[in-house]
Amino acid sequence: MTIHGTECLLRMYEENPDLEDYQGGVPRWCTGCGDNAILAAVQRLCRDEALRPEKTMFVSGIGCSSRFPHYMKTYGFHGIHGRALPVAEGIKMARPDLHVFVNTGDGDCCSIGAAHWIHAIRYNMNMTVMLHDNEIYGLTKMQASPTSPKGLRSNTTPRGAYLNALNPLSITLGVQNVSFVAQAVDWIPEVLYEIIAAAFRHKGFSFVRIMQRCPEWLPNHFEPWLNDPQKTLLLTHEHGLRVSPSLAKVYKNQLQHDPSSLDRAREIASGIDPIPVGILYRNPDVPCYEEVRHAGALRSSEFIKAGLEAEFDKFTIWPQAADAKTRPARAY
């Protein structure tokens, strides 16, 4: 069997990566920001799964969470507000062999990007999507977001938010072709890692909502849940989240939940206090859009080279003395 030279070199390289192999720029998030915990969990996942940096892609939109690609030593695309998902879908269609991750915020995903979010669930493309939900616009200095609770005072709602918060879990579970939905919190690192790892290993659109702290604009917002373990409901199951004995001693409020039950997942998703944490729904049988459309099948190296040559020819300056008939012909 003949393999490409680059692939041969990669196979010769002994893959025992360290965390440092995935650490990009120095994070500029505030001290105590939950984004730091998410970054640590994702870098650990990349190390444990030995993901090749050149085969791994992080895509984001705009917001505090969307600085994520800058801090990963992989490929990355920092897009525009609300457009992370269509960019990620385009990448997956062009390169279905890549590991694609999306980092988005409650404003980026649930407000300006809401339409893309709904259709991305329906397409069920194989990617891992992390919604960093701090229930406030942090980058633009404390405006109410779609997930801000009713009554929250902010720069745009000085008398308190008038509407009940949008529930990303319930919405995702209500869209056709949903295949994986989970919820995590940044202050339980062990569970955060396990949920992101399960999402990555799932084949399909894996949606993980992560409740994360904003120490700058909502410093005490999640304190009741941090101080009282009983306000966290761990969803455990042999086909879902498994909790270590040491963690189980602290978080005793647990519920055996089979993630194959969509109706039960929808019931649990509506819970606010206690916060349900774990895998709500998983269905590995939903077809992925890139496979339905045979993504990448026509993008051979010869096809790509021909396309590049065609574009280069548009700017070629041919010798004036040469007859047009002598110009080399291209096969497209």
- Residue 1 pLDDT level (bands cut at 50, 70, 90): very low
User: Could you give the CA distance from residue 186 to residue 153 in angstroms, rounded to a whole number?
Assistant: 23
CB 137 within 8 A of CB 233: no
Residue 2: predicted pLDDT: 47
Residue 310 covered by a domain: no
Q: At what angle do helices 114-123 and 84-94 cross, to 10 degrees?
A: 30
pLDDT in tens, 253-303: 999 999 999 999 999 998 888 999 999 999 999 999 999 998 877 667 788
Residue 12: predicted pLDDT: 42
How does DSSP assign 227-282, residue by residue? H-GGGEEEEE-TTSB---HHHHHH---EEE--TT-HHHHHHHHT--SSEEEEEEEE
Q: What is the mean pLDDT of the chain?
A: 91
Residue 212: predicted pLDDT: 96
Residue 297: predicted pLDDT: 72
Residue 248 covered by a domain: yes
Residue 224 covered by a domain: yes
How many domains in the chain? Answer: 1
* pLDDT at residue 178 is higher than 90: yes
Residue 114 covered by a domain: yes
Q: Between residues 305 and 279, which one has the greater pLDDT?
A: 279
Domain that holds residue 183: 15-290
Within 13 A of 117's CA, how many CA atoms are on the CB side?
28
- Residue 162 pLDDT level (bands cut at 50, 70, 90): very high
pLDDT in tens, 30-66: 999 999 999 999 999 999 999 999 999 999 999 999 9
Residue 31 covered by a domain: yes
Contacts of 61 (CB under 8 A, 6+ apart): 79, 80, 81, 82, 83, 84, 104, 105, 108, 109, 113
CB 245 within 8 A of CB 169: no
Average pLDDT over residues 239-245: 91
* pLDDT at residue 320 is higher than 90: no
pLDDT in tens, 194-234: 999 999 999 999 999 999 999 999 999 999 999 999 999 99
Residue 316: predicted pLDDT: 82
Residue 183: predicted pLDDT: 98
Residue 82 covered by a domain: yes
How does DSSP assign 40-55, residue by residue? HHHHHHHHHTT--GGG
Query: What CATH number does the domain containing 237 carry?
Result: 3.40.50.970
Residue 152 covered by a domain: yes
Residue 6 covered by a domain: no
